[in-house]
Amino acid sequence: MFLSKVLRAVDHPYINGPGGRKANNGWGSMQGLTIKSLKHHVALQPLFAIIGAGMVFVGAYIFRLASKTTDVNWRKEKDMGNVVGFYDGKQFKFLNPAGIDYSKYGQDRPKYQE
């Protein structure tokens, strides 16, 4: 009986009727989500610009993490020495404030294959 009451309540005008919750919470009724209302509410424009720029920056940084760091392996090879040795002599960090010379990085490591 409780389930039937819940299912009947969804069809009630309180939810779907004119002035109901569904009509009041739609995309067109919320302020700032259409171009027309965004032009009217000038104070929301910088907010949307900053949030949009932040989302682009986060997406670009996640792409960089997936493509440049040593934590992700996109090369599927049987010999792990080729995969691990790919970053020998290369700078893979985003910033280098200490000025470390990465050209000799990894050269002093013992070669276990020889």
The pLDDT score that the predictor gives to residue 27 is 66
Indicate the helix (H) or strand (E) that contains 36.
Answer: helix 35-40
The pLDDT score that the predictor gives to residue 38 is 86
**Contacts of 104 by beta carbon, 8 Å cutoff, 6+ apart:** 89
pLDDT tens-place string over residues 65-78? 888 777 777 777 78
pTM confidence score: 0.56
**Rounded CA gap, 113 and 84, in Å?**
13
**Rounded CA gap, 37 and 33, in Å?**
7
